[in-house]
């Protein structure tokens, strides 16, 4: 059978773009890609990139205060949100154009339209055009999930956060994951009176308990009102804003309510099940270790598979798919020992097992150091950094590392190399410290604080 394309990709996010580019430029495939929104997907357009730029913006008040402590005669007249938003949107336009140029240079044909499956080898665009493809890749990512509570339409999600006409004076962030916690810190840093409701006992569930407690304490010390064990019963519009009725019996008014209560695979309405693709209970596309669905010609990568929902993971999955199917290099991407960062204030970097997970596997030495970093100590701030290593008593391997403090994401990237190679505590100990740095604590902790 003659196909219109060797590969048709549905979704122009990080995973789909990488797969399309490698298949076309290095695999010699004829590739088509359809994206119904903006090229670049969640990460570039409404996720990692704009969020990190907002993190940078929100850190300047503390930096200005520190500058004064270091002898600089600096003043601030406040934050100009419209100016920042205009510059942010221009940067997103630039990145989207860069993605488009990269794909076109690789020989990928772009379709700015929604695409759905017809069957195992056919896709249909919103304008009615139908294309055949030998292989189809689903890379449609995820979407914000908002619980069905009365008045939920009064709230926004992370998708809208970057395009607000003005900053609110009072904001409520609902959720306790990394997205909710990051936006609480961003809003607080930009001068917004910020509250955060989370129904669980502590924010950042799934991360190391000691590390997430450290982050929560610092957030509260910075002025964020965190209410754990609290959820929204209903929202209602008032003359003064939005009134949130909470499960703790309180009623508070806000100018903005942001729901960051998780994300769901963006798999609805794509014709997947009718084509024979199996979905999980949350709508995730079920795939093999080769990212292949129940239909041999259809694959899926990224957040729509709900494996490890991180942009670099989607990229590696997309690359592995293209290597396997179009370059003749069978490649499985394993989802073990993946480093990640949470861009709260303070920042958290983590890799490997939490203390709780490590202890469940066997006796574990815990090395932990909490201290005031030199830079902000001099400036008179009470910031505290946490450095933590988890070491197997039996094998001496470092099973996990958790860092809370400035630059934690940068540090954990390098630690990930050592832990991925199976480094032992003695390998860390043999490493000469770089002084004076925060990271030197990782190689100077000699005695465990406890064994669990």
**Active-site residue set:** 435
Collapsed DSSP state (helix, strand, coil) of residue 161: helix
Provide the CA 407 distance to its chain's centre, in angstroms: 16
Residue count (the chain): 452
Query: Do 236 and 153 contact (CB within 8 A), yes or no?
Result: no
The answer to whether the beta carbons of residues 184 and 224 sit under 8 Å apart is yes
- Tokens representing 93 are 């336009």
Structure token digits, residue 139: 């890379």
Q: Answer yes or no: are the C-beta atoms of 228 and 176 closer than 8 Å.
A: yes
What is the rounded CA–CA span in Å between residue 119 and residue 57?
A: 47
User: Does residue 301 contact residue 15 with C-beta atoms inside 8 Å?
Assistant: yes
How many whole angstroms from its chain centre is CA 251? 31
Q: 144, 157 in Cβ contact below 8 A?
A: yes
CB atoms within 10 A of CB 436: 8
DSSP-assigned beta bridge partners for residue 250: none
The torsion angles phi and psi of 286, rounded to 5 degrees, stand at -80, 125
Q: State the pairing for strand pair 130-138/122-125.
A: antiparallel
**Tokens at 202, concatenated:** 């502590």
Q: Which of 24, 40, 31, 22 is nearest to 123 (CA)?
A: 31
CA 110 from chain centre, in angstroms, equals 26
Dihedral sign, CA of 252, 258, 263, 265? positive
- What is d(CA 146, CA 140) in angstroms, rounded to the nearest whole number? 19
């Amino acid at each position: 059978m003659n196909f219109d394309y060797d590969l048709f990709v549905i979704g122009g996010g990080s995973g789909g773009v990488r797969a399309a580019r490698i298949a076309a430029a290095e695999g010699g495939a004829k590739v088509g890609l359809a994206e119904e929104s903006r090229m670049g997907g969640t990460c570039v357009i409404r996720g990692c990139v704009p969020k990190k730029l907002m993190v940078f913006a929100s850190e300047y008040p503390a930096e200005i205060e520190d500058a004064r402590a270091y002898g600089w005669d600096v003043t601030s007249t406040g934050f100009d949100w419209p100016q920042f938003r205009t510059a942010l949107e221009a940067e997103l336009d630039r990145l989207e154009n860069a993605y488009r140029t990269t794909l076109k240079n690789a020989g990928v044909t772009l379709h700015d339209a929604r695409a759905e499956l017809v069957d195992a080898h056919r896709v249909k665009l919103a304008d009615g055009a139908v294309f055949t493809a030998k292989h189809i890749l689903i890379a449609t990512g995820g979407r914000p999930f908002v619980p069905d509570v009365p008045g939920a339409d009064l709230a926004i999600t992370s998708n809208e956060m970057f395009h607000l006409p003005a900053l609110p004076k009072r904001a409520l962030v609902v959720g306790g994951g990394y997205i909710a916690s990051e936006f609480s810190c961003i809003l607080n840093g930009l001068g917004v009176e910020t509250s955060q409701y989370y129904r669980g006992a502590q924010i950042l569930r799934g991360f190391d308990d000691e590390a997430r407690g450290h982050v929560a304490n610092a957030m509260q010390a910075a002025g964020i009102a965190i209410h754990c064990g609290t959820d929204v019963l209903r929202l209602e519009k008032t003359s003064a804003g939005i009134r949130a009725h909470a499960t703790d019996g309180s009623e508070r008014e806000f100018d903005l309510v942001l729901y960051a209560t998780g994300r769901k695979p963006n798999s609805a309405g794509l014709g997947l099940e009718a084509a024979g693709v199996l979905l999980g209970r949350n709508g995730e596309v079920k795939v093999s270790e080769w990212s292949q669905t129940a239909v041999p010609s259809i694959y899926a990568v990224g957040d729509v598979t709900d494996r490890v929902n991180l942009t670099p993971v989607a990229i590696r999955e997309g690359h592995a798919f293209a290597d396997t199917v179009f370059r003749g290099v069978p490649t499985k991407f394993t989802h073990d020992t993946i480093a990640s960062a949470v861009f709260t204030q303070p920042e958290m970097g983590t890799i490997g097992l939490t203390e709780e997970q490590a202890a469940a596997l066997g006796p574990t030495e815990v090395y932990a150091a909490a201290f005031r970093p030199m830079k902000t100590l001099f400036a008179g701030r009470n910031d505290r950094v946490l450095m933590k290593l988890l070491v197997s008593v039996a094998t001496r391997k470092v099973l996990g590392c958790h860092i809370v403090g400035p630059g934690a994401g940068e540090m954990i990237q390098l630690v990930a190399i050592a832990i991925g190679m199976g480094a032992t505590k003695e390998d860390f100990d043999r490493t000469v410290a770089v002084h004076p740095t925060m990271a030197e604590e990782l190689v100077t902790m000699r005695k465990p604080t406890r064994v669990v």
